[in-house]
Structure 1
Amino acid sequence: MADPITITRTVSIDPAELDETFVRSSGPGGQNVNKVASAVQLRFDLVNSPNIPAPMKRRVAALAGSRITKEGVIVITSNSHRDQPLNRAEALSRLVALLREGAFVPKPRVATRPTLASKKRRLEGKSVRSAVKRMRSRPPGED
């Protein structure tokens, strides 16, 4: 049995949960590109994965965006290399990076108000700019 893929210290996924499909790739490869299936489509069923907690599933689904299907399957395509093993490794590393990013709870933003000093600096800058523009115009009464 293959070793589990570690996401965090507490979360890991079984390689059996991953489904790899090899397709023909566009891009570099010369005559080889029409014969060899070097691109990789990596599929991971996020919704039915028993190893990932529900809050993490929600965060990962939001981060995945268009890479997740309606059924909750993450599809990652890699075709940047001419070599199939390199594309496999890149697709797997992109999936692990996505899962790691979703593993951490984002710190909630606390709304703050501008300080009195920053308000005064802003208004002072506006009045200086206004004076510069006023000096550029024609003097009043000159026609």
Structure 2
Amino acid sequence: MKDFTKELNFKTSRSSGAGGQNVNKVETSVTVTWKVSDSEFLNERQKDLILEKLKNRINLEGFLFLSVSESRTQLQNKKIAIEKILDLVNKALIIPKFRAKTKPTRSSVEKRIQQKKQNSDKKENRRFKF
């Protein structure tokens, strides 16, 4: 798990939603930005992987954006934002295992066909005959 929190930039703004009078005067919403290509914690391959997998969240300048306004406090929103961005990046760095395609065995195909015939016969016997 890579921890690149030192490279994150935070910006606050007024949040919408619950908060009463507080919502109009306190900047509780937190927006996190991180320039993927300038990261010192990741190698080029990892950066390319992140740029590919998170391309819908990265703008043209190469910044990854994430806004959080779930909590009523700025500090809590900042913690949530850090957790979310770390989770996003770590999930993007996971390379799925290669799955080799396989065919069903001859015996399993025969077994399936035999089962279908048995089912068919069973239902045929249930039919009302004149």
Structure 2-normalised TM-score?
A: 0.79
Structure 1 residues 76-91: aligned runs within 5 Å = 76-91=66-81
Structure 2: runs of 5+ lacking an equivalent: none
Aligned AA (1:115): T
Question: Is the CA contact 1:45–1:73 (under 8 Å) kept in the aligned structure 2?
Answer: yes
Equivalent residue runs for 1:116-131 within 5 Å = 116-131=106-121
Segments of 5+ residues of structure 1 without an aligned counterpart are 1-5
Q: Does 2:41 correspond to 1:51?
A: yes
Q: Percent identity?
A: 29
Residue 95 of structure 2 aligns to a residue whose secondary structure is coil
C-alpha distance in 2 between matches for 1:72 and 1:36 = 30
Q: Structure 1 pair 35/124, CA: closer, same or farther in 2 (3 Å)?
A: farther
**Matched residue count:** 130
In structure 1, the residue matched to 2:4 is 13
RMSD: 2.4
Alignment CA distance shift 1:134-1:61 (3 Å) = farther
Superposed displacement of residue 104, structure 1: 3.8
